[in-house]
Amino acid sequence: MTNKKSRTEENNFKVKFLPFETIVEVPPGTSLLDAVKTASLPLKTTCGGKGTCGDCVIQIIEGTYHSKPSAALSDKLASRGFSLACQTEVKDNITVQLPQFRELDIKSIVDSKFFKEQRDNISGVYELNPSVKKIELLLSPPTLEDNYSDLRRIERQLQKELALKKIDCEYSVLKKLAQTVRKNKGKISIFLSLSGKQATVIDVAPQSEGKKLYGIACDVGTTTVALHLVDLQNEKILATASSLNQQIACGEDIISRINFAQKPGRLKKLQELIILTLNNLIKKASKSAKVSISDIYLASVSGNTTMIHLLLNLEPRYIREEPYVPTFNQVPTILSRDLGLKMNNEGRIYCSPAVGSYVGGDITAGLLCTPILRDSKKVALFIDAGTNGELVVGNKEWLMTCACSAGPAFEGSGIKCGMPASEGAIEEIKMLDSGEFKYKVINGTKPQGLCGSGLVDLLAELFTFGYIDRHGKFNEKKAGKKIVKTEEGKGFLIEEGKNCYWGKDLIVTENDISNLIRTKAAVFSACSVLLKNVGLGFDKIDSVYIGGGFGQHLNINNTIRIGLLPDLKREKFHYLGNSSLLGAYLILLSDKNKDLANEIAEKMTYIELNTEPTYMNEFTGALFLPHTDIKLFPSVKQTLNL
Ligand code: FES
């Protein structure tokens, strides 16, 4: 059943992938899996396309296709449009929803309990004073006596109102200046990019056009990307949008992306993918807030050093080669037209400063959201357990930092049942005495997988109930029928496919468990080494601030039970959520936060864990639940009788 009218000139068909709206053209009969690869989008293919693992399941929203039947997909699901990409041929223009790509459930943490309570105590400044301003002017008409140029008359008035020392003007503004100043009887809106006492006119419009001033705050993570669209005249967040970073098709962590970038043309491709991700989010946010993209004049971006290099198309290889030197720590302001971001052509883009190759602008921005720099006596620990684990210890007087390659497990990547914290993710899970699980799914839909907080809970519950031992190995005798065979070895059944969105059993494999244990061990051992370097024990920590992509509901007891975080009094812990995004928002709102972020970056001393002789020992010790040295976890020892 082909639709001849809908075919493209070359007789190819268009395949549209949601939610990215990425469109590729493929010849008739192409497998959907090949179309996914052509579009550079990720899809799990554990069996390599043999049609046996069921991991490449997608949902066809519109269009005709032909699928071979497979035991890995039930008839019921097939009748609802679900299909295995490797077993499906394109027979028409077609629209496909990819699994785990539904919009991530990132909430604005400006409304979080922590931020509401601590807003006046944080290291950053919470005020509205952005570096791009909109000024309304009434220009008196030129006369024979006052026949200064249009620009000179604008400068004269701006100098009077803002006491500026120097004013520049973009060429694009000059080109439309004569008409604009005369269109609305001299009533004009001027858009200024300010830096101290210097300003550049970046746009001008008749007041009658009612142009607004908006900005975007973005967190460019290795796994996920999130942004807030903000009204810069009243600091209101108008819309939030988030998705997976489309670069994920080229590697799940920063090292594999740096390696990917080494072949000709690949660095450019990585840049295009992150720009595409950001532009889709900007489009989505501005559509939902009914905002014109040309009214977005400022962007504040925070991300790890590699992500910012890839965003700016800068060679990233020296980040991973000894002595681990990035191209920059503080990026100059970039113009949106140079990057191709969907905002006003003269829009300004600011990236948070990095400390070094492995402690990036996401950490300096994140620290702005904590009270760490307010106190000279108390010692705080900041942990960002994203795809890369970064830690900072210190206070107003000193800051020490390190990074560990934790891997993306707690962001749901690289785990069979893992997914980012988006609709359909199990974010809380408890085991009942009967051995059944009770869980809470984001947006209350059928479960599709587990996000970071769900995975922490799952590991803690399996351990507490004795289904896994301290090495993370299954207790098969106890688990009985719960142990199932998978393409990746033994697994533990969490939920049967008939109760799950994609119709596949939700299973955590033994490999996944060791992956999660390695991740938690990397973070905990980095913590131990960092503290030993400054001669402090865990007991000297007054507060612990946790950021990262776990989701909204991290259970602190469970993070301690699995040995991810130290066994301290629970009231010392504060879960921040996406602190990188909140930091980017603070920088967007106030120029003062740029200076503070630079100050933080300058102040931090970086420890390279690769050259720390004790790190490997610490890491090996942490590869147990909760730790080889159970004395470090007295509360877990007591509760579980270890
Ligand atoms: S890759 Fe399609 S079923 Fe395994």
* pLDDT tens string 459-482: 999 999 999 999 999 999 999 989
Task: From residue 340, give the alpha-carbon distance in Å to each of 161, 284, 348.
Answer: 33, 17, 12
Mutate which of 34, 47, 73 for ligand 1 pocket (most atoms within 8 A of beta carbon): 47
Q: Is the CB of 84 under 6 A from ligand 1?
A: yes
Query: Torsions phi, psi of 146, nearest 5?
Result: -120, 80
The closest of 478, 506, 511, 474 to 493, measured between CA atoms, is 506
Return the residue matching tokens 């090495």: 471
Handedness of CA 142, 148, 152, 156 (dihedral sign): negative
Mutate which of 50, 73, 502 for ligand 1 pocket (most atoms within 8 A of beta carbon): 50
User: How far is C-alpha 539 from the geometric centre of its chain's CA atoms?
Assistant: 32
The closest of 242, 198, 204 to 109, measured between CA atoms, is 242
- Residues 542 and 563: their CA atoms lie apart, in Å, by 19
Mutate which of 31, 46, 58, 88 for ligand 1 pocket (most atoms within 8 A of beta carbon): 46
- Residues 211 and 204: their CA atoms lie apart, in Å, by 9
Return the residue matching tokens 């998705």: 243
Task: From residue 80, give the alpha-carbon distance in Å to each of 59, 61, 62.
Answer: 8, 10, 12
Provide the 10 A C-beta neighbour count for residue 343. Answer: 25
Q: Is the CB of 464 under 6 A from ligand 1?
A: no
Maximum Cα interatomic distance, the chain, rounded to a whole number of Å:
98
- Residues 209 and 347: their CA atoms lie apart, in Å, by 19
Q: How far is the CA of 557 from the centre of ligand 1 (A)?
A: 38
Tokens found for residue 620: 């090996």
Q: For residues 47-58, b (16+ Cβ closer than 10 Å) or e, as one string?
A: bebebebbbbbb
Instruction: Please provide the distance, in angstroms rounded to a whole number, between the alpha carbons at the two ends of the chain.
Output: 64
Tokens found for residue 465: 């109930």
- Domains within the chain, CATH numbers bracketed: 4-97 (3.10.20.30), 109-125+213-351 (3.30.420.480), 132-209 (3.10.20.880), 369-408+517-640 (3.30.420.40), 416-509 (no CATH)
Q: Which of ligand 1's atoms lies nearest the C-alpha of 48?
A: 1
Q: Which of ligand 1's atoms lies nearest the C-alpha of 45?
A: 1
| 406 touches 428 (CB < 8 A) | no
Order of strands across the sheet with 57-62? 22-26, 13-18, 94-97, 57-62, 82-84
Tokens found for residue 384: 């960002």
- What pLDDT shows up at residue 317? 95
Return the residue matching tokens 């009942």: 432
Tokens found for residue 34: 């090949």
CA atoms within 13 A on the CB side of 406: 33
Task: From residue 547, give the alpha-carbon distance in Å to each of 369, 393, 411.
Answer: 10, 14, 12
The closest of 196, 202, 136 to 343, measured between CA atoms, is 202
Secondary structure of residue 260 in the 3-state scheme: helix
Q: Is the CB of 99 under 6 A from ligand 1?
A: no
- What pLDDT shows up at residue 2? 39
Return the residue matching tokens 């002017």: 137
Find residue 193's DSSP bridge partners: 132, 200
Mutate which of 37, 56, 89 for ligand 1 pocket (most atoms within 8 A of beta carbon): 56
Q: For residues 62-99, b (16+ Cβ closer than 10 Å) or e, as one string?
A: ebebebeebebbbeebbeeebbbbbbbbbbbbbbbbbb
Q: Whose CA is nearest to atom 3 of ligand 1?
A: 51
- Residues 43 and 575: their CA atoms lie apart, in Å, by 31
| 467 touches 492 (CB < 8 A) | yes
Q: What is the pTM for the complete model shown? A: 0.87
Query: Could you say which DSSP state residue 233 is in?
Result: T
Q: How far is the CA of 47 from the centre of ligand 1 (A)?
A: 5
Which residues 6+ apart lie within 8 Å of 266 measured at CB? Answer: 250, 260
Query: Torsions phi, psi of 526, nearest 5?
Result: -60, -40
Q: For residues 7-38, b (16+ Cβ closer than 10 Å) or e, as one string?
A: beeeebbbbbbbebebebbbeeebbbbbbbbe
Task: From residue 399, give the alpha-carbon distance in Å to each of 382, 526, 577, 604, 606.
Answer: 10, 15, 22, 5, 9
Strand runs (DSSP E) across 103-182, as ranges? 132-138, 166-169
- Spans of the chain below 70 pLDDT: 1-10, 100-109, 549, 551
- What pLDDT shows up at residue 533? 93
- What pLDDT shows up at residue 1? 38
Burial class (CB in 10 A: 0-12, 13-18, 19+), 433: exposed
Q: How far is the CA of 244 from the centre of ligand 1 (A)?
A: 21
Tokens found for residue 442: 């984001």
Give me the DSSP letters along 519-573. Answer: HHHHHHHHHHHHHHHTT--GGG--EEEEESSS-S---HHHHHHTTSS----GGGE
Q: How far is the CA of 72 from the centre of ligand 1 (A)?
A: 8
